[in-house]
Amino acid sequence: MPFVEIERLVKRFGEEVAVAGIDLNIEKGEFVTLLGPSGCGKTTTLRCIAGLERPDAGEIRIEGEVLASADKDIYLSPEDRNLGMVFQSYAVWPHMTVFNNVAFGLKIRGVGAGETKEKTDKALKLVGLAEVTDRYATKLSGGQRQRVALARAIVYGPRVVLFDEPLSNLDAKLREQMRIEIVRLQREVGITTIYVTHDQAEALVMSDRIVIMDKGVIQQIGDPETIYARPANAFVANFIGTANLMEGKFLGREGELADMEISAGEGRPPIRLKVPGTEGVAEGQRVILSLRPEDVSLHLESPAAPGPNLLEGEIIDTIYQGNFLDCQVRVGPHEVGVQMDHFEQLASGQKVYLTFEPDHGLLLTE
């Protein structure tokens, strides 16, 4: 039996459907991230699990216990669910010391002073704050306050810890450090974690599985490698990382590979490409080729042995990104992004050639 079970969850706000009947199972000790753009339903789903929103339909269970069920008219209050939560705003009390902030949850549960001190000291040590227990929250950095919030969420041993975009208020370098800290802590404690973010990099680095949401619906569930390398549709491909999406027509399959064609522009014959074969696609069907920028090679001259896929284009623009050069190339009506790890002097309008291996592309249907 899954540790966390969500069945047919629906949440409406007036006429707006924020969550549209989703199903999701999470195993004990798993780190699962709900990822998607603003308004996709990820935070609403988290708040329904936490008990901060009452579902309009569906059921939520943890360890077989029903936390919320519209059909059975069951709705446990947040304090009765034994869950920990870390908010975007930290929610650290400024008038309390670090120790008292973390110990507060134990005190209101009636835990004795000796046990409270032992558990609070252990939690603060886990998050690296053992040396600042007597300091007030107003004297802490943003990263330290986030660690206080994290210690407070785990100190009483909740069944699940819920994170609602906890790193969005931190600077880029500190976000990277805190990602590592949260994953380390989650693995050390072994606690089941549900994490909400709109940051693709966070989701890819931290998660055992990622749940991609859009318009209240789950688009795909999978481990980070699967989500990135084999997106289920054009939305996922374009949302996770960067993808070149080129619309075209499926021409037919030959063994492991298939043929498709894309437009080369008005008055020019279409460009024929070799792509991975896809089961269930009919000849003449509209398809979308998804191609990651790092899988495209740029050449200043037409290569002697280009392979099956050669595109002729011209430079639109180049952007220096530090560890790579981001190039935008026009191929007929299409704009193709290319990442180069060496820095050529490229001018707008310059003629270039692009190549890619057939198995680096992914064929998507609507």
Give the pLDDT of the chain (366 residues) as one tens digit per residue: 899 999 999 999 999 999 999 999 999 999 999 999 999 999 999 999 999 999 999 999 999 999 999 999 999 999 999 999 998 877 788 889 999 999 998 998 889 999 999 999 999 999 999 899 999 988 888 888 889 999 999 999 999 999 999 988 888 888 888 899 899 999 999 999 999 999 999 999 999 999 999 999 999 999 999 999 999 999 999 899 889 999 999 999 888 899 999 999 888 999 999 998 887 888 999 999 999 999 999 999 999 888 999 999 999 999 988 888 899 999 999 999 999 887 778 999 999 999 999 999 999 986
Domain boundary among 187, 219, 238: 238
- Comparing CA positions, the residue from 86, 60, 117, 45 lying closest to residue 186 is 86
What's residue 92's pLDDT?
Answer: 83
**Residue pair 206/31 in contact by the 8 Å Cβ criterion:** yes
3-state DSSP assignment of residue 36: coil
CATH number at residue 353: 2.40.50.100
Task: Report the distance separating Cα 54 and Cα 76, nearest Å.
Answer: 9
* Burial annotation 72-83 (CB, 10 A radius, 16+ → b, else e): eeeebeeeebbb
Q: Look at residues 188, 206, 238 and tell me which one is the last residue of a structural domain.
A: 238
Which H or E element spans position 174? helix 172-189
Whether residues 124 and 33 fall in one domain: yes
pLDDT at residue 117 in the model? 94
Where b means 16+ CB within 10 Å and e means fewer, 23-58 reads ebebeeebbbbbbbeeebbbbbbbbbbbbebebebb
pLDDT in the model for residue 210: 98
Which of 216, 238, 260 is the endpoint of a domain?
238
- Cα(342)–Cα(349) distance, rounded to whole angstroms? 20
Tokens representing 166 are 């906890």
Measured distance CA(174)–CA(143) in Å, rounded: 7
Pair 9, 122 in one domain: yes
Verify that 270 and 214 share a domain, yes or no: no
What is the C-alpha separation between 298 and 354, in angstroms, rounded? Answer: 5
User: Could you give the C-alpha distances from 277 to 11, 145, 174, 342, in angstroms and in order?
Assistant: 39, 51, 43, 32
pLDDT at 56: 97
Q: Are residues 301 and 162 in the same domain?
A: no
Same domain for 222 and 325, yes or no, is: no
Number of domains in the chain: 2
Q: Residue 354 has what DSSP assignment? A: E
pLDDT in tens, 132-189: 999 998 888 888 888 999 999 999 999 999 999 998 888 888 888 889 989 999 999 9
Tokens of 320: 């220096």
DSSP state of 246: E
> Same domain for 226 and 252?
no
7: left (phi over 0), alpha (psi -120 to 50) or beta: beta
Q: What angle do CA 51, 187, 47 make, to 5 degrees?
A: 15
Residue 337's contacts (CB-CB under 8 Å, 6 or more residues apart) are 242, 244, 293, 296, 326, 327, 328, 329
CB atoms within 10 A of CB 308: 14
108 and 210 housed in the same domain? yes
H/E stretch holding 235 reads helix 234-239
Q: Are residues 144 and 254 in the same domain?
A: no
> What CATH code is carried by the domain that includes residue 155?
3.40.50.300
Amino acid at 168: S
Q: Are residues 186 and 270 in the same domain?
A: no
Asked if 60 and 87 sit in the same domain, the reply is yes
105 and 155 part of one domain: yes
Q: What is the pLDDT of residue 342?
A: 74
Query: Rounded to 5 degrees, what are φ and ψ at 194?
Result: -120, 120
pTM: 0.90
DSSP secondary structure code for residue 106 in this structure = H
Please indicate, yes or no, whether residues 294 and 192 belong to a single structural domain of this protein.
no
Q: Residue 184 sits in which domain range?
A: 4-238
